[in-house]
């Protein structure tokens, strides 16, 4: 890579922040390239140039929170739609899990710019990540993300007594959606009517569409893990902070 590229994109590639945060920091004069303050949006840099951020940026970033919520059915992950409420409305002082070990105190400003890093369908439940930190959003849903996600999926089979082993193998590898082959998954039976899915991608309604392709109907879907973070005993409709010693 020898061509110049936007400073905001380079900062995102370096893991310093998200592109949105980068533009904000650049406009505030918090970004330096080879020791020189760069405050013009759209500025470009070469890959060998040294990019640093001032302490104000690092201090502001440290204040940003990441929240783990056990999303109930009937809530959308992001913006309100079709009369359904977004999961963020569940985040308040009263719904914080009593066993949350974080020393972080809740206040309303933490709801600003709190966005889902990944989604769960309205009829799916389980672990949902809401974050103010662009680095975490990039880690979980960026193009280069390698974080896997685990789901428990209750199913019914409509073409016989039991799903053939050949179709189970197709769920693991061999299906395509939207004209593109899916990445290899880990799909196995948990019991006679429940599968576990471990995926490294998250196309819209992917698991439901995968199941439809092999004759399965999904009757329940719950996300129980994202990377190293598990849902654990977090009650439905409650939330906790991602601790500083935790990572995905």
Domains of the chain, each with CATH number or no CATH = 5-62 (3.10.290.10), 66-143+232-241 (3.30.70.580), 149-226 (3.30.2350.10)
Burial of 2 (0-12, 13-18, 19+ CB in 10 A): exposed
- Among residues 82, 121, 144, 245, the one annotated as catalytic is 121
Q: What is the DSSP string of 122-187?
A: TT-EEEEEEES-HHHHHHHHSTT----EEEEEEEEESSSSS--HHHHHHHHTT-EETTEEPPP-EE
Tokens of 75: 């809530």
Phi, psi for 15 (deg, rounded to 5): 80, 15
This prediction's pTM: 0.82
Over residues 149-194, the pLDDT tens digits come to 999 999 999 877 789 999 999 999 999 999 999 999 999 999 999 9
Nearest by Cα to 130 from 70, 63, 199, 202 = 70
Length of the chain counted residue by residue: 248
Over residues 66-94, the pLDDT tens digits come to 999 999 999 999 887 788 899 999 999 99
82 is catalytic: no
């Amino acid at each position: 890579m020898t061509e110049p590229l936007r400073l905001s994109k380079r900062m995102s590639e370096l893991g310093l922040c998200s592109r949105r945060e980068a533009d904000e920091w650049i406009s505030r004069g918090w970004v330096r390239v080879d020791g020189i303050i760069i405050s013009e949006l759209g500025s470009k840099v070469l890959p060998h140039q040294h990019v640093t951020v001032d302490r104000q940026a690092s201090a502001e970033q440290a204040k940003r929170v990441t929240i783990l919520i056990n999303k109930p059915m009937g809530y959308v992950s992001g913006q309100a739609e079709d009369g359904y409420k977004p999961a963020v409305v569940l985040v308040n002082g009263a719904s914080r899990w009593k066993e949350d070990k974080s020393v972080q105190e809740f206040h309303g400003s933490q709801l600003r710019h709190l966005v889902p890093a990944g989604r769960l369908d309205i009829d799916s439940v389980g672990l949902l990540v809401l974050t103010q930190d662009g680095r975490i959003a990039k880690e979980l849903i960026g193009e280069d993300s390698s974080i896997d996600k685990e789901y428990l999926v209750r199913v019914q089979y409509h073409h016989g007594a039991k799903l053939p082993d050949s179709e189970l193998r197709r769920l693991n590898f061999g299906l395509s959606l939207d004209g593109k082959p899916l990445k290899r998954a880990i799909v196995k039976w948990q019991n006679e009517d429940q599968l576990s899915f471990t995926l490294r991608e998250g196309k819209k309604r992917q698991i439901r569409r995968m199941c439809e392709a092999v004759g399965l109907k999904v009757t329940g879907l719950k996300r129980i893990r994202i990377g190293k973070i598990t849902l654990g005993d977090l009650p439905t409709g409650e939330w906790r902070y991602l601790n500083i010693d935790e990572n995905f």
